[in-house]
Amino acid sequence: MKRRINRTITYIMAVFVLFFTAVSLLSGENVVSPRKTIRIGIIENAGSVNISCEGGFSVRDEKNNREMKLDSRKVYLVSARAGGIGINNKILGGSIRIYSLNDKNRLRVNGRKYRGDLRIALKRGKKLTVINKLGLEEYLYGVLPREISPEWPVEAMKTQAVVSRTYAARNMGKHNSKGYDLSATVFCQVYGGLQCEDERSNKAVDATEGEVIYYKGELISAVFHSTCGGFTEKSSNVWETNSSPGYLKCVRCPYCRKSPRYSWKKTIKKETIRKKLNKSGYKVGRIHKIKVAGRASFSKRAININVYHDAGKLSIPSNKFRIAVGADIVKSTMVKLKNYPDEIKYVGRGWGHGVGLCQWGAKGMAERGYKYLKIIRKYFPGTKINK
Ligand SMILES: [Zn+2]
């Protein structure tokens, strides 16, 4: 009996699959395409959050599948409580879904508007994680204005749209263990929800809908940074891997000169550097001097940094050094160092790790009339763009 039911279910499913495949073939859609929805961790470790909606909305307790209508005129305090998630004075299970009853009415989290719906989960019995689930293209609407200025030329925005889409598609499930795909921070891609959307950048997303970058049939690792400073970098020189994929190599970039971070200077106290290194787990005593050890060909980026201190010598990959001291202080590894008694003077070029797309370079190319496909293939040589 059971087997017969299973067989029937399999049969019904097969009919469905055939039907939808036929429909999508007829409509000219790609049958095999990256997943169309994405889960973004927008808030983590919160004690409580305020939730409201522009119209009628609902909460579903995922424990017993019970649903409760919510009032559009109210702001609800959703909080971590002993034994579950509190919504005003009601206690629900450890995982709830909140959604708008009409797609036109948007949800608000702490006053910020978001597309799609929300999942709120109780972590370790005392903190809340808020996850925004929405369409991949809608997600990109909320990424673009955070990653580049919506005032930039259209072709630069289209470039960023394709690169950010590829990044998201390739990194789907990166934070599965936390219940979402990507975070909304610089560690993934910065995402600001509907609140930060701009008409111009939304158009750039629409104009490139579904387009992603491939290399030898695989989605690429679509990394990007603000300003390369003249040359992008081979990924192995930055992330200490044994080899670099063919599309992440050193590319000459004469296009980012207008970036305010094309060249910079910074003086940092040795004591500050010592404290920052210690905080990141590198045990160093009083610093005597800091020297570059090994430079990349072409770009001359520092590969390693030697820190001579009271208790010996610390040799550290320069990108790790940069992040430990502060990526907004030591802006890149394309640096020259000068040692003074108490401080180090940095003379540098560019901002960011320098691998993959140079955003200011893309802007410069767009201003010179290059189209986005050309720009992408400049910074990711040998790649193809497909839907
Ligand atoms: Zn550049």
Task: Write down the pLDDT at residue 209.
Answer: 96
Residue 211 has pLDDT above 60, yes or no: yes
Task: Write down the pLDDT at residue 124.
Answer: 84
CA of 259 to the centre of ligand 1 (A): 9
Confidence of residue 7 (pLDDT cuts 50, 70, 90): very low
Segment 363-378, tens digit of pLDDT: 999 999 999 999 999 9
Task: Write down the pLDDT at residue 2.
Answer: 43
Residue 266 has pLDDT above 80, yes or no: yes
* pLDDT mean over 316-330: 95
Segment 295-305, tens digit of pLDDT: 999 999 999 99
Cα separation, 137 vs 217, in Å, equals 22
Task: Write down the pLDDT at residue 187.
Answer: 85
Confidence of residue 186 (pLDDT cuts 50, 70, 90): confident
**Is the model more confident about 91 or about 10?**
91
CA of 300 to the centre of ligand 1 (A): 14
CA of 366 to the centre of ligand 1 (A): 13
Task: Write down the pLDDT at residue 32.
Answer: 41
pTM, entire model: 0.86
CA of 305 to the centre of ligand 1 (A): 23
Task: Write down the pLDDT at residue 35.
Answer: 63
Segment 216-262, tens digit of pLDDT: 999 999 999 999 999 999 999 999 888 999 999 999 999 999 999 99
The packing angle between helices 359-367 and 372-379, to 10°, is 140
Mean predicted lDDT score pLDDT of the chain: 90
CA of 179 to the centre of ligand 1 (A): 36
* pLDDT mean over 30-40: 69
- Residue 355 near residue 232, CB atoms below 8 Å: yes
CA of 184 to the centre of ligand 1 (A): 25
Cα separation, 174 vs 181, in Å, equals 5
Task: Write down the pLDDT at residue 111.
Answer: 95
Confidence of residue 89 (pLDDT cuts 50, 70, 90): confident
CA of 15 to the centre of ligand 1 (A): 52
CA of 321 to the centre of ligand 1 (A): 22
Confidence of residue 88 (pLDDT cuts 50, 70, 90): confident
CA of 253 to the centre of ligand 1 (A): 5
Cα separation, 354 vs 229, in Å, equals 8
Of the candidate ranges 14-18, 276-280, 306-310, the one whose mean pLDDT is the lowest? 14-18
Element (H, E) at 127: strand 127-135
Cα separation, 119 vs 95, in Å, equals 7
Cα separation, 92 vs 216, in Å, equals 49
Cα separation, 172 vs 162, in Å, equals 15
CA of 267 to the centre of ligand 1 (A): 24
CA of 380 to the centre of ligand 1 (A): 13
Segment 115-153, tens digit of pLDDT: 999 999 999 888 999 999 999 999 999 999 999 999 999
CA of 376 to the centre of ligand 1 (A): 13
CA of 57 to the centre of ligand 1 (A): 46
Residue 18 has pLDDT above 80, yes or no: no
First to last CA, the chain: 44
CA of 359 to the centre of ligand 1 (A): 7
CA of 362 to the centre of ligand 1 (A): 8
CA of 361 to the centre of ligand 1 (A): 4
CA of 315 to the centre of ligand 1 (A): 28
Task: Write down the pLDDT at residue 351.
Answer: 97
* pLDDT mean over 64-82: 94
Task: Write down the pLDDT at residue 29.
Answer: 34
